[in-house]
Structure 1
Amino acid sequence: MYIKTSGLIKLLKPYNIRPRIRSIGRYMDMMELNNGCLFSRYLSASDYTITERKIRKFFRLNDYYYITMGNGSDEIIGLLITIYKKIASFYPSFVMYERLSFALGKRFYHIALNKNFEVDLGRTCRTIEKKCIDLFFIAYPNNPTCNAFNRIVMLKLILQYPNTLFVFDEAYYPFSKKSFIDLIEKVNNVCILRTLSKIGFASLRFGYLFSSRCLHTFIQLVKLPYNVSKQTLMIVNNIFGRIGIDLKEYDKERNRLASFFKKRLFIFINGCCNFFFIKIRKRIVDYLMEKKIYIKETVCQKFYRISIGNKEENRYLMDMINEKTNI
């Protein structure tokens, strides 16, 4: 039984220690005054509802799309794994699918991509059927290979295996603009995972999942209460109320780097993330690291991730590669 408490005066207030911590107390008092946020109170359902409406409005979605919010995408991945038994993903892909599956005592299966880092449909179907996979994570675009898998192949999997939930992790959606979100209204085995981490808000730790009402209800049974703070929701409301992502400079710099890599005869995937998946010699990587250019290793031998920076950063990267290769 639930008792509605909104609008009531709570006589038994929690003991307020803030006046005894003067500098912090003054800062928090100011925050409460400016933002109407009571630090001494738990969140109410209306706090989450406001944020849900902001997100739906931003993406122009109707009320059929239920939203689960989490402390980063990782928490939501963990919640989904808690509900299901046998989990799979492609390889290579985002490492947290496997790591959280093992941490939660679930069986996890890799399905290797082909030599071109595309989906092997036959191998995927055999694994789903043989291992009775009921939860399948698909990074879309894939991380670290930065390519978006063939949409027709994805649709075949979704339609052929209605008892498997396909989670499309669209962390890089702001850059790719490719999505399966339209399928949520058409089928029952698709949900969409997104985050704010890739557009400059990584430390905010905010992830969100679009799903049907049925899946949303199951997630609420295992989700911890108050998993996203009031302060985070306030910032997220402002982000979705004002955000405008201009990718003109990003597109220009991506094309400039791609042209440079082609001229240097590097093997790379010009995908749709904010980085390149590129095959490059170890001595060049070591030299770039010495020059304070961070190159991220991947599980694929001799392949690395190189982020797309701003104009000055990319110019410096190209100059250093030219310097090392004596071109």
Structure 2
Amino acid sequence: MPNSTGLVKLDAMENPYRLPEKLAAELGERLAAVALNRYPEPRPTALIEKIKRVMQVPAACELLLGNGSDELISMMSMACAKPGAAVVAPVPGFVMYAMSAQFAGLEFIGVPLNADFTLDVDALIAAIETHNPALVYLAYPNNPTGTLYDDADIECVIAAASNSLVVIDEAYQPFAQQSWLSRAADFDNVVVMRTMSKLGLAGIRLGYLAGKASWTTEFDKVRPPYNVNVLTQVAADFMLDHLDVLDAQAAELRAERTRLEDAIKALPGATVFPSAGNFLLVRVPDAAAVFETLLTSRVLIKNVSKMHPLLANCVRLTVGSAEENAQMIAALKLALH
């Protein structure tokens, strides 16, 4: 990852807003009281119950906590690893699905999306029938495209993957405002994964997986013993009491996303794809030149054009604060003149 010191950092889908000063001071007092000389609870029951209550997790679901979604993906890969096992996911998608599969010795089968970044349902179902995968990942919405897949298409995939576990990854749910969480217990082969990173707490590294105990119990067997540290547990517990602050920040970012999209659509040579995340995928005449021009203007974005052929000449722009977005738009005007 490039050194972002001194740059407007809009490359990693982070929430640009800090906590209000009073709230940050209160959190600091809570963190200062933590017994750093003691190991954390391996399964922090009170925190798990609080997440279930605040996030309205169905009663029939259990929760598994991870050091961000990355660790949950790693745990699932490890638990499902056996000779001949495979993972299926649409591509382009979140790189950790493929990387974790590779690290665990699983075969990864990427199924290309349609040109408009919607699911190629027939191709996805064909891959599931051919490879009988242990895991099928569906990001809702998808990174790096921002696409919110059609619910009917997802239901078709769930039905076709009756011998697989379908992982619905809702990392960007605060910006999509649509969710499968309430239906997680309606299927025997579905779990829903979320993270607190996009809510504005990327630094504490906390993800959670909701699903039937028949799945979470098995994944828990490969969980490192103290995978969620004491500072993360206390910070998460504190912020769950102040979710209104984070929700207000997410609402502001949704409004900024609309303003940013409108501004970029007015620029020559830019094609903006619909996004339900806190980022926009934009096709430009020359992604490398746009990236370098913005970097010269001290704005850091992500050039995703080499990730997959479908992303040719695409850049991904994180939605920042109004001031940050104004700087990015000014730099884009220079790049696309």
Aligned amino acid, residue 87 of structure 1: V
Aligned amino acid, residue 284 of structure 1: V
Q: Which has the larger radius of gyration?
A: 1
1:40/1:160 Cα in 2 relative to 1: closer, same or farther (>3 Å)? Answer: same
Partners of 2:58 and 2:184 within 8 A in 1: no
* Counterpart residue number, 2:95: 95
* Counterpart residue number, 2:316: 305
* Counterpart residue number, 2:37: 40
Query: For each residue in 1:120-173, what CA deviation from the matched residue of structure 2 results, as whole angstroms up to 9, or x when unmatched?
Result: 111111110111112111111000001111110001111232211110111101
* Counterpart residue number, 2:279: 275
Q: Distance in 1 between matches of 2:263 and 2:32?
A: 49
Q: Distance in 2 between matches of 1:182 and 1:63?
A: 10
CA drift of 1:281 comes to 3.0
Q: Distance in 2 between matches of 1:32 and 1:287?
A: 43
Higher relative contact order (CA 8 A, sep 6+): 2
Q: Distance in 2 between matches of 1:86 and 1:325?
A: 42
* Counterpart residue number, 2:21: none
Name the SS of the counterpart of 1:137 in structure 2.
strand
Partners of 1:87 and 1:133 within 8 A in 2: yes
Q: Distance in 2 between matches of 1:42 and 1:31?
A: 20
Q: Say yes or no: does 1:65 pair with 2:87.
A: no
* Counterpart residue number, 1:111: 111
CA drift of 1:324 comes to 4.1
* Counterpart residue number, 1:122: 122
Name the SS of the counterpart of 2:241 in structure 1.
helix
Q: Say yes or no: does 1:287 pair with 2:293.
A: yes
Q: Distance in 2 between matches of 1:191 and 1:225?
A: 22
1:236/1:301 Cα in 2 relative to 1: closer, same or farther (>3 Å)? Answer: same
1:202/1:156 Cα in 2 relative to 1: closer, same or farther (>3 Å)? Answer: same
**In structure 1, which of residues 250, 253, 256 is the aligned counterpart of residue 253 of structure 2?**
250
**In structure 2, which of residues 253, 259, 263 is the aligned counterpart of residue 260 of structure 1?**
263
Partners of 1:32 and 1:38 within 8 A in 2: no
Q: Distance in 1 between matches of 2:232 and 2:320?
A: 27
Q: TM-score, structure 2 length as denominator? A: 0.82
Q: Distance in 1 between matches of 2:201 and 2:154?
A: 30
Q: Distance in 2 between matches of 1:288 and 1:39?
A: 42
CA drift of 1:38 comes to 3.1
Query: For each residue in 1:90-130, what CA deviation from the matched residue of structure 2 results, as whole angstroms up to 9, or x when unmatched?
Result: 11000011111111111111111111111111111111011
Q: Say yes or no: does 1:323 pair with 2:307.
A: no
**What is the correspondence of 1:136-215 to structure 2 with a 5 Å cutoff?**
136-215=136-215
Q: Distance in 2 between matches of 1:252 and 1:132?
A: 42
Aligned amino acid, residue 298 of structure 2: K
Q: Distance in 2 between matches of 1:325 and 1:130?
A: 45
1:106/1:264 Cα in 2 relative to 1: closer, same or farther (>3 Å)? Answer: same
Q: Distance in 2 between matches of 1:236 and 1:251?
A: 23
1:61/1:99 Cα in 2 relative to 1: closer, same or farther (>3 Å)? Answer: closer
Long gaps (5+) in structure 1: 1-29
* Counterpart residue number, 1:55: 51
Q: Say yes or no: does 1:131 pair with 2:131.
A: yes
Query: In percent, how many aligned pairs have the same letter?
Result: 27
Partners of 2:128 and 2:160 within 8 A in 1: no
- 232-241 vs 59-68, greater mean Cα deviation: 59-68
CA drift of 1:278 comes to 0.4
Q: Distance in 1 between matches of 2:55 and 2:251?
A: 20
CA drift of 1:313 comes to 1.5
Partners of 1:54 and 1:241 within 8 A in 2: no
Aligned amino acid, residue 53 of structure 1: E
1:122/1:238 Cα in 2 relative to 1: closer, same or farther (>3 Å)? Answer: same
Partners of 1:170 and 1:179 within 8 A in 2: yes
- 310-319 vs 101-110, greater mean Cα deviation: 310-319
CA drift of 1:31 comes to 7.9
Q: Distance in 1 between matches of 2:312 and 2:321?
A: 28
Q: Distance in 2 between matches of 1:301 and 1:279?
A: 8
* Counterpart residue number, 2:228: 228
Partners of 2:31 and 2:231 within 8 A in 1: no
1:204/1:129 Cα in 2 relative to 1: closer, same or farther (>3 Å)? Answer: same
Partners of 1:89 and 1:110 within 8 A in 2: yes
CA drift of 1:80 comes to 0.6
